[in-house]
Structure 1
Amino acid sequence: MENAHVVTVSGAEYPDGHIVVDGDRITAVGPGKAPEPASASASASASASGSASTRDTERIDAAGCLATPGLINTHHHLYQWASQGLAVDSTLFDWLTTLYKPWSKMDAEVVAGAATAGLGWLAKSGCTTSTDHHYLFPKGRGDLFAAEVEAAREIGVRFHPCRGSMDRGESQGGLPPDEVVEDLDTIIAETEAAIDRYHDPSPGSMLRVAVAPCSPFTVTRELLLKSAELARDKGVRLHTHLAETLDEEEHTREQFGMTPAEYMDSIGWLGPDVWLAHCVHLHDTDVKRLAETRTGTAHCPSSNARLGAGIARVSRLLAEGATVGLGVDGPASAELVPLAGELRQAIYLQRARYGPTALTARQALEMATLGGARCLGREDELGSLEPGKLADIALWRVDGFHAAVDDPVVAFAFGQTPPLQRLLVGGRTVVDDDTLVTVPQDEAGRRGAAAHHRLMRLAEEVL
């Protein structure tokens, strides 16, 4: 690929640059034309047009395009694709108590369709790596975790599913109804089994598993401790929700006498192997502690706005040196939100609260790429365009209407997201000419709609 505006995110930008890919790795990035390969089979470059100069080498002209690292989604709930458009005017706690009812009826077929549509939608917005936080496992409904793993394999994105859990129902002072929680022994056994079956720690891995109790108000202290012990014994990462709403802080202070961040710190749940979703309501001491412990944050601006939760202190976290990535969150609290659009949401919300210099376009792009890679512990392989890193590349068309903005990074981040010309995951094309190609795009959409209709039918008895 050559003649593109290449943003490496690691520091350099090449307004007229090239990227060369060999197999699943980037081998060269720099200004000007791509070098000629040593042999026809030694190198293959990412293509915007699909034209090939030789049988084994694809060399293309990417004039009018912006090349960025593939975007990394650090927080999601794929099953929620099947429950969009419900409880649209509710706060988080009301929204949850409403949706626990239909979610309790989901099965593996619902999860498979929802995950296919959700991951396809993410790919179409430049996402090459996505997490998923699945924490609800109704009994007798099939293998929900396997269903989403298979969907990610079909779509072709790098996947970091988090085996979530809840063991603190209403009878124990938690928020969820008792019928949707699991017991501690089952959770630990099933989580360990998911790690053993799916987690691939090898370089270039397409599938890694994290341990993810749902939140301080839905799990017991014992589950948090056992989960951390299991994750660290297995060498995998830890994830949970934290400090999303003021209701959560009131609940945690009442139950534990501490802020959510203080509580998690007190039980060893802050550290470089942990990333936390939302972190909207952090105190100054919390912000400093997250930075000191190198704990990551998944910032989900659209979901936080949709639920009226507030605006996370992202600018302050970054100023303190904390790790921050971007996340969409579940589609039921961020209907049809594209990951690329979260750059704009993050910029605008920070500026609305803290002023016009609070967050720049390039800072937002770094959060969506290298920041996300750091949250997942993969900054050595993902998040920037550098030789030796995985060939996860997004190519955006910034000609046409977008060409009225001289700076293509500003055009990409501030306005309507430009068309995605090509998306590569490990050098393999997942999106071509703004169209999902691994699973037929219309088919992915139909599977998501079918999952919604199925869940609504299954849930009729409880709605």
Structure 2
Amino acid sequence: MTVLDGCAVHTVDAADTSYPVGHVVVADGVITAVGPGPAPVYPDAVVVNASGCLATPGLVNTHHHLYQWATRAVSVDDGLFSWLKTLYPIWAGISSEVVGAAARAGLARLALTGCTTSTDHHYVFPASGDDVLGATILAARDVGLRFHPTRGSMDLGESSGGLPPDSVVESLDSILAAVDSAVAKWHDPSPGSLLRIAAAPCSPFSVTRELMRESAAQARQLGIRLHTHLAETLDEDEFCREQFGMTPVEYLESVDWLGPDVWLAHGVHLSDADAAVLGRAGTGVAHCPSSNARLGSGIAPVPALLGADVPVGLGVDGAASQENGGLSDELRQTVFAARLRHGMPGLTARDVLRIATMGGARCLGRADEIGSLEVGKRADVALWRVDGPFHADIVDPVDALVYASPPPLARLYVEGRPLVIEDELQTVDVEAAGRDLRHAARVLAARAAG
């Protein structure tokens, strides 16, 4: 049993309960008590003096491409389509060695920025058959995060009217077989699971209608979730209108991709009518403000999505379009982006913390297990130090977390296990992970150079 005592607590429960001074108790991977004032005395408990800290649920990252950590700061002045055309040929050279190193570094960075659950959208698979998906899963086990990787896919190459080169696409049958295999090998649907697989055809401009329909049917038969990119850029909107004669959301509906088992990446170019459709269907959106800004894609209408009861989570996206790679920075970015698009008040600090926790849990179908500090939920807890020189003058600790620089991380727990203590990752050597990443990036660049 571990007791976090004397901290401010923001639970993100349905009532948005906060305690200026409170406690959180965890045992056997589960939260057993949350409340105001000092914690009760528990014999043999490990008591952490958490005064000067803010306890929140661990942050949930709902969209990422971990392999892209090996190609940061490439094509930095291009929009999405040009950026992809530059990077696809480089990514064709990935291997399990490269992907494992990139994933370990990326997941370490996420943990050090308060993330306890992460997704990964991996959709590039080398012709060699190297197990790059398995490499990301093993990296997540090393770091210790709760992990929702997706078996992504592309089957629409340039020769058939798609964006990616033919060298990085797969056949429909091989994709469906690979999803079956990944679920059989890795997926754990049990309560408290640390690993769940989803199916994730990449985007309207890189997959066929047939793959979208077959993936939806397969996923629902297997009992797994569905993920894809949608409405990220105006180029994509134009592609859907030219190729399918409909908007991106209308296209989703035509291939049976609307439902509470689906979450989408980006959703930048969505109308109020689109938001209403997604809200009625219970389909979620992973908001990636820094990546959208870096690529010049636009600003997602997050307040409108929330108003339509769309589950909205927060995403880092790949480090090739968000070189920072951290999740806590996205809290402030989300507030600022909403206010730039919609004016004041746009979103508040508490709105954004809910997006980054319960919103993400809703997107991943885990709202009954993670995303808030409540008795019976899994013990995924972030403890932020807000009594230092750059935060202590801010009266509201949630404002300190969101508006100021990301605070030091005093503790991070996943399933009650401490992954970070005083800004130091306990599970993997961060310096070694960085060296491995630099080597992997050089290897990949050399392969691309021929």
Which of 132, 140, 151 aligns to 2:120? It is 132
Partner amino acid for 1:218? S
CA shift in 2, pair 1:278/1:270, >3 Å: same
Which of 15, 18, 23 aligns to 2:20? It is 15
1:3 aligns with 2:29: no
- The corresponding residue for 2:411 is 422
For the Cα contact (< 8 Å) 1:160–1:207, is it kept in 2?
A: yes
Deviations 1:143-168, CA, capped at 9 Å, x for gaps: 10111100000000000000000000
Q: How does 1:56-135 map to 2 (within 5 A)?
A: 57-135=45-123
1:268 aligns with 2:256: yes
Distance 2:133 2:206 in 1: 20
Distance 2:274 2:152 in 1: 24
Q: Identity, % of aligned pairs?
A: 59
For the Cα contact (< 8 Å) 1:168–1:218, is it kept in 2?
A: yes
For the Cα contact (< 8 Å) 2:380–2:415, is it kept in 1?
A: yes
1:336 aligns with 2:320: no
How far did residue 141 of structure 1 move?
A: 5.2
How far did residue 337 of structure 1 move?
A: 3.2
Partner amino acid for 1:290? L
Which of 34, 38, 50 aligns to 1:33? It is 38
Distance 2:155 2:400 in 1: 46
- The corresponding residue for 1:459 is 448
Show structure 1 runs of 5+ residues with no match.
Answer: 41-56
Show structure 2 runs of 5+ residues with no match.
Answer: none
1:350 aligns with 2:355: no
- The corresponding residue for 1:361 is 349
Distance 1:60 1:383 in 2: 22
Distance 2:405 2:326 in 1: 11
- The corresponding residue for 1:432 is 421
Deviations 1:411-452, CA, capped at 9 Å, x for gaps: 100111000111000011111110111001211222222221
Q: What SS does the aligned partner of 2:392 have?
A: helix
For the Cα contact (< 8 Å) 1:21–1:391, is it kept in 2?
A: yes
Partner amino acid for 1:295? T
Q: How does 1:8-407 map to 2 (within 5 A)?
A: 8-10=11-13, 11-37=16-42, 39-40=43-44, 57-140=45-128, 142-401=130-389, 402-407=391-396
Partner amino acid for 2:109? W
Distance 1:452 1:395 in 2: 33
How far did residue 356 of structure 1 move?
A: 2.3
For the Cα contact (< 8 Å) 2:99–2:132, is it kept in 1?
A: yes
1:450 aligns with 2:439: yes
For the Cα contact (< 8 Å) 2:318–2:325, is it kept in 1?
A: no
For the Cα contact (< 8 Å) 2:230–2:267, is it kept in 1?
A: yes
Distance 1:308 1:168 in 2: 25
For the Cα contact (< 8 Å) 2:227–2:262, is it kept in 1?
A: yes
Distance 1:66 1:331 in 2: 28
How far did residue 58 of structure 1 move?
A: 0.6
Deviates more, 1:282-291 or 1:373-382: 282-291
For the Cα contact (< 8 Å) 1:106–1:141, is it kept in 2?
A: no
- Total equivalences in the alignment: 444
Distance 1:348 1:325 in 2: 16
What TM-score do you get using the length of structure 2 for normalisation? 0.98
Q: What SS does the aligned partner of 1:159 have?
A: strand
Distance 2:48 2:132 in 1: 41
Distance 1:441 1:247 in 2: 38
For the Cα contact (< 8 Å) 1:164–1:212, is it kept in 2?
A: yes
What TM-score do you get using the length of structure 1 for normalisation? 0.95
How far did residue 127 of structure 1 move?
A: 0.4
Q: What SS does the aligned partner of 1:76 have?
A: coil
Distance 1:275 1:133 in 2: 12
Partner amino acid for 2:120? D
For the Cα contact (< 8 Å) 1:290–1:322, is it kept in 2?
A: yes
Moved over 3 A (4+): none
Deviates more, 1:134-143 or 1:23-32: 134-143
Distance 2:333 2:7 in 1: 26
For the Cα contact (< 8 Å) 1:275–1:375, is it kept in 2?
A: yes
Distance 2:120 2:69 in 1: 12
For the Cα contact (< 8 Å) 2:301–2:341, is it kept in 1?
A: no
Q: What SS does the aligned partner of 1:406 have?
A: coil
Q: What SS does the aligned partner of 2:400 have?
A: helix
For the Cα contact (< 8 Å) 1:116–1:447, is it kept in 2?
A: no
How far did residue 328 of structure 1 move?
A: 0.2
For the Cα contact (< 8 Å) 1:125–1:339, is it kept in 2?
A: yes
Partner amino acid for 1:175? L
For the Cα contact (< 8 Å) 2:113–2:409, is it kept in 1?
A: yes
Distance 1:451 1:160 in 2: 23
